[in-house]
Amino acid sequence: MDDDVFVQQLGASERDVSAARGVSCRVRDFLASHDGRVRTISVVSSGGTAVPLEENMVRFLDNFSTGARGCAVAEEILLREDTLVIFLYRRGGPTPFATRLREMSMGDLHVSQDGTEQHVSVLKEPDGDAASLRSGMLTGLANDVDAYKRTASRMLCVPYFSVIEYLMSLCAICYELKHDPAHALAEHSGRVLIVLAAAVSDFFIRTDELSKHKIQSNAEWATRVDGAANSSRMAHDGNLELTLRPVPKCLGRMREMWAPQHAKLVSFKLETDAQILQDKAFTAIDKYKVDLVVANELHSRYRVVYLCARDLATGGRCVTAIERDDQMNEPRIESALVDALLEL
């Protein structure tokens, strides 16, 4: 990565910078192994970013994002031929084609012995009869395993935890896409697609402002623990006061500095107030030159999303609704969403 100003804005530590260099190396090797053999290179981010409150972290601030949408988008892209996916995901969150297995409990599985081989089967609810299979589950698992085997070589999963780790990794990934020769075919003959589905924190504590040790709940102990920083203060009445800074915006930097010139940039906008949703989506388009914003409202986000873009000829607003088809065998809207993204 090569954005020293951004690194300084984050207050990133040497450890943060070293981790980003490690991401760069992984991405460089991944792209080189596919040089000239793909038409679409996609970066998909997923999950929610955490905000540590201490350097030796015990507590952190988080958001409710599960990463399900970003994971589903990555799956749908991988199911298309001639695609690569760099999947930037929250550590411990869902990864492509592993969601169904993650959602199963040990009680769903039955292990049987056949000579020297062990076999795992899926029990049927509610009687747990090992001779029967839970409806649809085994078929779904088999499909997931098959999809994973067919696409694993075209997927690089990069985990993150904190908002700083996420932003540093994203910068490193985009930098490698821009400067590594492996991106050239996708840029000139196909596409580079960056889909930012992660829920990024709005406020954070810089690494160099974190308390070194666990923040104490007792005011007396708070004054005795070494490493207290100016981001947190224990008042005499026992209330904890935190100072959080706005997270530096990266969309503009991605368009101007980080990403390949012709990359298609897609961001997501979630609001609880439907009245302002589309206005905020077009604000992002106009301010940061995003190609498309996927806008969704909190309580309807699994049923409908709105694709917001500017008409290339007139500059007018274009809004397309994608709604879930409940009659489908697996009713999720990410398949239609990816169809639209790959047409950008």
Do 182 and 156 meet the contact criterion of CB atoms below 8 Å apart? no
Over residues 41-49, the mean pLDDT reads: 96
Task: Check whether 69 has a pLDDT greater than 90.
Answer: yes
Per the structure, the count of domains in the chain is 1
Place of tokens 């998909």: 44
Cα–Cα dist 85/32, whole Å: 14
Residue 335 belongs to a domain: no
pTM of the model: 0.86
Quick one: pLDDT band at residue 158, thresholds 50, 70, 90?
very high
Q: What is the DSSP string of 4-16?
A: HHHHHHHT--HHH
CATH number of the domain where residue 33 is located: 3.40.50
Over the chain, what is the mean pLDDT? 84
201, part of any domain: yes
Q: Which structural domain range is residue 158 located in?
A: 4-101+122-262
- Domain assignment present for 292: no
In a domain, 181, yes or no: yes
Mean pLDDT of 158-170: 97
Task: Give the pair of three-digit tokens for residue 25.
Answer: 């190396």
Q: Which residues, in sequence order, are CB contacts of 151 under 8 Å at separation 6+?
A: 78, 79, 96, 97
Residue 325 inside a domain? The answer is: no
CA-CA distances (angstroms) from residue 269 to 55, 229, 241, 294?
Answer: 30, 33, 30, 6
Does 230 score more than 60 pLDDT?
no
Domain presence at residue 24? yes
In a domain, 199, yes or no: yes
Q: Cis (ω within 30 of 0) for the bond into 52? A: no
Closest Cα to residue 91, out of 141, 26, 145, 161? 161
Q: Is residue 344 part of a domain?
A: no
Q: How far apart are CA 154 and CA 44, in angstroms?
A: 13
